[in-house]
Amino acid sequence: MAVAVVVVMLVVATVLFHFVSPWRATPLASNWQQMDDTLAITLVITGIFFVVISLFIAYTVFRFRHREGSKAAYQPENKKLERWLIGGTSVGIMALLAPGLLVYGDYITPPPDALTVEVLGQQWQWRYRLPGTDGKLGKTDVRYVSAANPFGIDPADPAGGNNVLVNSNELHLPLHKPVRMLLRSIDVLHDFYVPEFRARMNMVPGMVTTFWFTPTRVGRFEVLCAQLCGVAHYNMRGYVVVEDEPSYHAWLKGQPTFMTTMAATQAGQPALSERAIQGRSLAQSKGCVACHTTDGGSGVGPTWKGLFDKTETMADGSTAHVDEAYLKDFIRNPQSRVVKGFAPIMPKIEMSDDELAALVEYIKTFRATGPGTPRQRAEK
């Protein structure tokens, strides 16, 4: 009897929780209303099964409870009941699967006028590549993959030169324009996921996966990596900024092409040295960028712009020259001293000597050397 009551209470509590729970899906920002509908169908079907089966269990536990003198009946087979169960389960499973298959068919079939954007996943950052004016992405091959050419773009392919490379985790997209996403991974399994778009797809090393969507709302939406991909998986985040057409084109014009980044490298002036590029990855993966800006903007910690070579004032009034030794010492022992105007909250982050050197090399690239430094030319 008690068991039956508990089961009924569980059913009531679960159904109630569904209706009063404050956790709801974020408002939709793409054309994929169908994804929500499919989820709703699944929820209704599984919900009905859950309620009916649970109440049936409660009923049988109560109705056939042990009583003095009662005896269980032995019934090895019941053809009629089996037919009903097989028929009912089959219809239920088909109703669960069919809508999903139809929507998935749409999801991977982009309209012909869709923009193409390639996303490259790497532990633990996002990069994006867009075609130039000819609308073509250049060929890629693992042989060409290096720190300076993470996409592995074939330098001999004429279609690759004008490809726009976004060396940041923020992608901009025009409003109301369908986008075909091509997804690749350079190392392990990742998953590109923007909850508001109801769109996600695994990124599998060695293959190109695809889906498409149309942004329907202006805003800045977070990209999450949805596959456990290593210790900094939680921090593999990016942004998709949806904006009007003119703003999008202004942003696009500010991004370097493959040709300009390669030209800078060949002229002996790499946009960033291999080591600084490694440092940039570390700044992302170790979470430094969450507190330190690189453009002079305020943050939880001091900005890196103009940090190297400057004289820093400490909370106790003393001063220190920011050089390599200072930075390394500070990163190794963040609590040993406090910079004036900042709270002593920098965490100690485990890093090898090699990683530390790379990170410092990257911070050095933001030193105040006036306009026209190689990095500013490359990142403008």
With contacts defined by CB under 6 A, name the span among 225-233, 278-286, 306-314, 343-351 that binds ligand CUA.
225-233
Report the distance separating Cα 109 and Cα 34, nearest Å: 14
Terminal C-alpha separation, the chain: 73
Q: Which 38-77 residues touch ligand CUA, going by CB under 6 A?
A: none
> Which one among 29, 35, 130, 229 touches ligand CUA, defined by CB under 6 A?
229
Would you say 227 or 261 has its CB closer to ligand CUA?
Answer: 227
Give min distance, CB of 216 to ligand CUA, in A. 27
- List beta partners, residue 193: 200, 224
Would you say 102 or 208 has its CB closer to ligand CUA?
Answer: 208
> Which one among 172, 190, 286, 375 touches ligand CUA, defined by CB under 6 A?
190
Give min distance, CB of 181 to ligand CUA, in A. 16
Distance from the Cα of residue 214 to its chain's centroid: 18
Ramachandran category for residue 370: left, alpha or beta (phi over 0 → left; psi -120 to 50 → alpha): left
Q: Which 6-35 residues touch ligand CUA, going by CB under 6 A?
A: none
> Which one among 136, 217, 233, 337 touches ligand CUA, defined by CB under 6 A?
233
With contacts defined by CB under 6 A, name the span among 166-174, 204-212, 223-231, 262-270 that binds ligand CUA.
223-231
Would you say 114 or 189 has its CB closer to ligand CUA?
Answer: 189
Q: Is residue 127 near ligand CUA by the rule CB under 6 A?
A: no
> Which one among 30, 227, 278, 285 touches ligand CUA, defined by CB under 6 A?
227
Would you say 195 or 306 has its CB closer to ligand CUA?
Answer: 195
120 with 186: CB under 8 angstroms? yes
Would you say 121 or 270 has its CB closer to ligand CUA?
Answer: 121
How many amino acids of this chain bind ligand CUA (CB under 6 A)? 9
Would you say 91 or 231 has its CB closer to ligand CUA?
Answer: 231
Give min distance, CB of 234 to ligand CUA, in A. 8
> Which one among 164, 166, 236, 272 touches ligand CUA, defined by CB under 6 A?
236
- List beta partners, residue 126: 121
Give min distance, CB of 240 to ligand CUA, in A. 16
Give min distance, CB of 188 to ligand CUA, in A. 7
With contacts defined by CB under 6 A, name the span among 133-141, 222-230, 259-267, 358-366 that binds ligand CUA.
222-230
> Which one among 137, 186, 201, 225 touches ligand CUA, defined by CB under 6 A?
225
Cis omega (within 30 of 0) on the bond before 124? yes
378 with 258: CB under 8 angstroms? no
Would you say 3 or 228 has its CB closer to ligand CUA?
Answer: 228
What's the Cα-to-Cα distance from 270 to each of 265, 288, 361, rounded to whole Å? 4, 23, 14
With contacts defined by CB under 6 A, name the span among 61-69, 101-109, 229-237, 357-365 that binds ligand CUA.
229-237
With contacts defined by CB under 6 A, name the span among 53-61, 72-80, 220-228, 238-246 that binds ligand CUA.
220-228
User: Quick one: 84 exposed, middle or buried, by C-beta within 10 A (0-12, 13-18, 19+)?
Assistant: exposed
Report the interface residues with ligand CUA, using CB under 6 A. 121, 124, 190, 225, 227-229, 233, 236
